[in-house]
Amino acid sequence: MSYVLGLKCRECGQTYPEKGVHVCETCFGPLEVQYDYPAMRGKVTRQSIASGPHNLWRYRDLLPINGEPKSGHHSGMTPLKRAKNLEKVLGVRELYIKDDSANYPTWSYKERVVSVAITKAIELGYDTVGCASTGNLANSVAAHAAEAGLRAFVMIPHDLEQGKVFGSLIFNPTMVRIEGNYDDVNRLCSEIADKYRWAIVNVNLRPFYTEGAKTFGFEIAEQLGWKLPRHTICPTAGGTILPKIYKAYREFIDLNLVADNQPRIYSAQAAGCNPVVEAIIAGRDLIKPQKPRTIAKSIAIGNPADGYYVVQAVKQSGGWAADATDVEIVEAIKLLARTEGTWTEPAGGTTLAATIKLIESGRIPRDESICVCITGNGLKTVEVVVDQLEPPASIPPRLEAFDRLMAGGVAIVAAPAPV
């Protein structure tokens, strides 16, 4: 059973059948999937969802597929952790980490959007998929395409971390490094999508792709025991995940699956690439494009495709925004690791650092529930912490050598250390 009605222009309302298009022919506005929500009433319930598979397809009634899932059978349903140690350090009452650093198979939130896009690509009859990526998307497209038996072309900026490059190459896609930043990669991919009959997941399949991001929000709500956190802090790159988490919350509220606690959503960006945060703080709807300069490469998008919709979701929800310097990002990565045992990449460090600022400035009250969205894994970005960690001692394999080391006053730090 599918509740999908088709595609609809977000600006002028023109409708389209389901196909590989993403902009309106009349006004160039972005297209969005339309569902028959009235038909879902009484059918899409807590029970119908809870009886689904232990992966993101338990929410398939709210996703744009018609047949069976073709990808992502083991993606999603990542941990939602109560962060007790971090609560103490930050002086807040109820803090959660939604941890997509543990998402299968390539350890980022991108499994969600790619699972839906690959399934849709197969439904629409494509044999080749591709993407414009800051790294994680390329990893995910390459892995899911390998499993589904599709050809993959992944396009990345030339200066990514090794973990992101080899994290794609191992799956044997055709990878092209573009001598430019992400915005150059994206522009080229739009031209490729026009010319070649490929499913570029975040270009011509974008309306379907972006819907997959809702599962991040659905899981938070279900895992909290069918409740919404009052405050959700989320990183912003191209602007997909933040508005889709908010849309997921609204859909669950409208279907009476959760109570409406007026959830607020907050955007986090690196100070070296903060076009959306800058617009929100300045009270502008319009995004001024930037040239990125930050270690947070996975979210370094200077001209975000859906930046406008991030601003709208943040404003509508009564949320706000904050950015973080590279130094603050690394400090937050280390803090999360030593308090909660979660190693995230700079996108997650950005989000935690922004959360801390929003708490300290009083934007987020200390006594209300808070959820920090961790979207990527630190093992792929070892570069940003190598200079920060004390190298381990090296000794001969003899007890006396170890005794000498102990007598030398090796610092044994009790965790968690306060900041």
Ligand X SMILES: *Cc1c(COP(=O)(O)O)cnc(C)c1O
Q: Which residues of this chain interact with ligand X, rule CB under 6 A?
A: 108-110, 136, 235-241, 298-299, 345, 347, 375-376
By beta-carbon proximity to ligand X, the closer residue of 238 and 292 is: 238
Window 23-42: residues binding Zn ion (CB under 5 A): 24, 26-27, 29
> For residue 186, what are its two tokens?
């994206």
Strands 264-270 and 199-200: unpaired
Taking CB atoms, the residue at the shortest distance from ligand X is: 376
With contact defined as beta carbons under 8 Å apart, do 285 and 356 qualify? no
Q: Which does 205 bind (CB under 5 to 8 A by kind): Zn ion, ligand X, none?
A: none
Minimum separation from the CB atom of position 240 to ligand X (A): 3
DSSP 19: S
98-120 burial: b if 16+ Cβ within 10 Å, else e: bbbbebeebbbbbbbbbbbbbbb
Q: How far is the CB of 406 from ligand X (least distance, A)?
A: 40
**Could you say which of Zn ion, ligand X, none residue 235 binds, taking C-beta under 5 to 8 angstroms by partner kind?**
ligand X
User: How near is the Cβ of 16 to Zn ion at its closest, in Å?
Assistant: 10
Residue closer to ligand X by CB (options 9, 245) is 245
Rounded to a whole number of angstroms, the minimum distance from the CB of residue 309 to Zn ion is 15
Of the pair 313, 356, the CB lying nearest ligand X is at 313
d(CA 278, CA 285): 10
352 binds, among Zn ion, ligand X, none (CB under 5 to 8 A by kind): none
Choose the one of ligand X, Zn ion, none that binds residue 298, judging by a C-beta under 5 to 8 angstroms depending on kind: ligand X
Q: Which is nearer to ligand X, 201 or 299 (CB)?
A: 299
Sheet with 95-99: strands ordered across: 80-82, 95-99, 370-374, 231-235, 264-270, 321-324
In angstroms, give the least distance from the CB of 45 to Zn ion: 34
Please, what is the angle between helix 346-360 and helix 326-340, to 10°? 90
**Apex 122 CA angle, 118 and 123, nearest 5:** 115
Please identify, using beta-carbon distances, which residue of 7 and 248 lies nearer to Zn ion: 7
Using CB distances below 5 to 8 A depending on partner kind, what does residue 50 bind out of ligand X, Zn ion, none? Answer: none
From the CB of 244, what's the least distance to ligand X, in Å?
8
Query: Strand 15-16's sheet: what is its strand order?
Result: 15-16, 4-9, 31-35
- Binding partner of residue 240 among Zn ion, ligand X, none, CB cut-off 5 to 8 Å per kind: ligand X
Where are the extended beta strands (E) located within 49-121? 80-82, 95-99
Q: Which one, 3 or 343, has the nearer CB to ligand X?
A: 343
Judged by beta carbon distances under 5 to 8 A according to partner kind, the member of ligand X, Zn ion, none in contact with residue 237 is ligand X
CA 230 to chain centre: 19
Q: Is 97 in the site for Zn ion (CB under 5 A)?
A: no
Cβ-contact 64, 208 below 8 angstroms: yes
Compute CA 312 distance to the chain's CA centroid, rounded to the nearest angstrom: 18
Which residues in this chain contact Zn ion in the complex, by CB under 5 A?
A: 9, 11-12, 14, 24, 26-27, 29
